Structure 1
Amino acid sequence: MRFKPIKEFLAYIEECHIALADLYLRLSLEATDEKVKLLLDFMRNKEQLSFFHLHEYAEQAPGSLLETWLDNVFDQSFPMKCQQMKAQPDLAIDDVVALAMKLDMQLIELMQTAAYNSPTIEAELALENLTNQEEEALHSVVTASHEFEYM
């Protein structure tokens, strides 16, 4: 992506959350361990909530922010990579957490880079706030994984 408005960048991040939710659903359907299934369902719900919060934000954000152009080059294959991941029935909770950390960190780094390269303070602060929300959601995954382990 090069020289795209923030609204298109946010739409891409929304697409990534949907791809993650679909991935976690597929993994849950194939998983054999009940705790892993529960964690994957939690993960899917987290991604759906992240999508809805981001979509709601984009709906309510000022037009001046959404029309701000970003000069941000990045690989747009994240959703496709999620679709191509193979399900493994013998996933453990640690495997799910490691996968979530890896994938969420890719999105967080993408958003941090966009914030850092933003042409205006308004855009930088908006993207930093959205990045912070992503980080908080990732923290909830780690916390939830500990709870699932001790069930």
Structure 2
Amino acid sequence: MRFKQVNDLLNYLVTVHQTIRDYYVKMEEESCQERSKLLLQFMQQCEDEACNNIRAFQDDASKAVLDTWSDAVFDADPLAPLANLEIHPYLGSDEIVSLATDVAQALIDQLERLVEEAPTDGTHETLENIITSEKNRLHKLVHSTHRLDDM
């Protein structure tokens, strides 16, 4: 996907997280395992938080940063791992976490590449903040999953 302005990229990131959340809802609806359902509910909340964080970045960023024109391009679809997974009722927590990790890492990889091409310092800082937020979210997911496994 090619973006025209930094704000377009941020709007796209919100859409990505909403799409991921919707996918987790479908997975939860299909699941017959309570542990997997709990994990998927938690992951839905994480995606909601990610959307809210990006919107907060949009609210906090200067108009100059949001309106910055960029030739930014994602060279891979961060949602691709979702397309390769068959949803079934017995999807285990390991498979779910693996999927979530793959999707999150694909998004982080794309954002890290875009930081290198950031046209301004403000854009660079905004993208770095989003990357940090994405990494923290992934870290939280992994640790929360380990706690769920310990129950």
Q: What TM-score comes out, normalization by structure 1 length?
A: 0.91
- Identity level (%): 30
Alpha-carbon distance between aligned partners in 2 of 1:88 and 1:27, rounded to the nearest angstrom? 8
Which position in structure 1 is the counterpart of 2:94?
Answer: 94
Distance apart, 1:3 and its partner CA:
5.3
Alpha-carbon distance between aligned partners in 2 of 1:3 and 1:55, rounded to the nearest angstrom? 17
Give ranges in structure 1 of 5+ residues lacking alignment: none
Query: Per-residue displacement from partner, 1:83-102 (whole Å, max 9, x unpaired)?
Result: 78542211111111100010
Trace 1:106-145 onto structure 2 (pairs within 5 A): 106-145=106-145
Which position in structure 2 is the counterpart of 1:13?
Answer: 13
Which position in structure 1 is the counterpart of 2:104?
Answer: 104
Alpha-carbon distance between aligned partners in 2 of 1:20 and 1:45, rounded to the nearest angstrom? 11
Could you tell me whether the CA contact under 8 Å between 1:15 and 1:79 is conserved in 2? no
Could you tell me whether the CA contact under 8 Å between 2:76 and 2:110 is conserved in 1? no
Runs of 4 or more, structure 1, over 3 Å off, are 75-86
Partner SS state of residue 23, structure 1:
helix
Question: CA RMSD of the aligned region, Å?
Answer: 2.0
Query: How many residue pairs were aligned?
Result: 151
Q: What TM-score comes out, normalization by structure 2 length?
A: 0.91
| Greater shift in the superposed pair: 100-109 or 65-74 | 65-74
| Greater shift in the superposed pair: 82-91 or 59-68 | 82-91
Which position in structure 2 is the counterpart of 1:30?
Answer: 30
Give ranges in structure 2 of 5+ residues lacking alignment: none
Alpha-carbon distance between aligned partners in 1 of 2:82 and 2:92, rounded to the nearest angstrom? 19
Alpha-carbon distance between aligned partners in 1 of 2:82 and 2:100, rounded to the nearest angstrom? 11
